[in-house]
Amino acid sequence: MSIEVNNDPCAATPSDYKMTWTSAAQAMWAAVKLAGKAELELYEVMGLTGHAFRININPENVDIAGPTAYPWETFFAKGLKNIGFNTAYVRTADFTPPTPDQLTRALKLVQKSIDRGVPAISWDLFVPEFGVLYGYNDEKQELQGKDPNEDGTLLYEKLGRGQIHELFVMILEEEIQTTALSLIRGALEIAIDHAHRREHSNETPPFQNGLAGYDGWIEAFEAGKVSEIGNAYNLAVVADARAHAAKFLQEMADRWESDGNWGEAVVLITRGAAGHYARTTDALNTLLAVFPFPQGGEPNDAETAKKAIAVLQTAKAAEASGVEALERLLAELPE
């Protein structure tokens, strides 16, 4: 059995906001649209699940793993619940392939979701990114899946045994009742929490998320230990995410101003927040040409690093103002 998935999880074209470098959000969008939320745009899924506001940097070298090195099951479940869905998942420990029992449970979840007409979110199908599983064939013992690299098939036994050799499958379950107010309050709480609280339980690797992520990024440049490809990838992901954050907030402000039910203060704060994230995006975009993915440029050249640090300081200042605006907005909204 298979279902049709129209949006490919692959590299972003931010001008139309139909694709993103955040493969997790791209996969979520494919799932929620077929689970009853067809009206949601990608930038809304990015904003409502918190992915538009994510940054995760290893200050030792700006590791390429940064954008995907965090507790997926917790963050995904919270974001998808905010949109309006409970979830179920199977995950193995880092770099640990599934046991036969884990694989069986994962396949049952995948088939259950596909039978309902909704793709399952999964990890490391063909490359170490997120994608969707949208079909299965018991006779051939095959799954159909898409990720940023490929749209193809894999044997049941290969699930959780890709390049990374770890299993993660999450499906949407029953829908939860939401309101316009609960959606935006939830999104703001997720974004603000990510900005201020370290989400990692282990001290090593020393990943820093939120506003501290910029400090970690600058620390790596100061030490001259920046991974060329890691820096370029993190830059592409974060710049793209902030473009979606600005779009999410701007569209929300326009909608609220049009319907007239939210009050002038709420509209003004939201529009101001959109401006701060747009300035963050502009700052990061100036570095994209200097550090293109996958070539990476020369981040450890002393003069280049000095200029990059200045730009990252500008980006952090703009984002800090954005977070402050989100905090004011949360305080202004009714309970």
What are the tens digits of pLDDT across the range 225-238?
A: 999 999 999 999 99
pLDDT of residue 11: 40
Closest alpha carbon to 239 in 275, 192, 287: 287
Question: Across all residues in the chain, what is the average pLDDT?
Answer: 95
Rounded mean pLDDT, 45-61: 98
Closest alpha carbon to 239 in 274, 280, 209: 280
Instruction: Tell me which of 143, 175, 207 is where a domain ends.
Output: 175
pLDDT of residue 2: 65
Question: Do 166 and 24 belong to one domain?
Answer: yes
Whole domain around residue 218: which residue ranges?
59-65+183-332
Inform me whether the pLDDT recorded for 253 exceeds 50. yes
Measured distance CA(155)–CA(302) in Å, rounded: 48
Inform me whether the pLDDT recorded for 32 exceeds 50. yes
Rounded mean pLDDT, 66-84: 96
Question: Do 292 and 246 belong to one domain?
Answer: yes
Inform me whether the pLDDT recorded for 68 exceeds 80. yes
Question: Do 219 and 310 belong to one domain?
Answer: yes
Helix (H, G, I), strand (E, B) or coil at 120: strand
Q: What's the total number of domains in the chain?
A: 2
- Tokens representing 16? 């139309």
β-pair partners for 154 = 143
Rounded mean pLDDT, 259-276: 93
pLDDT of residue 99: 97
Helix (H, G, I), strand (E, B) or coil at 154: strand
Helix (H, G, I), strand (E, B) or coil at 181: helix
Question: Do 230 and 89 belong to one domain?
Answer: no
Model-level pTM?
A: 0.95
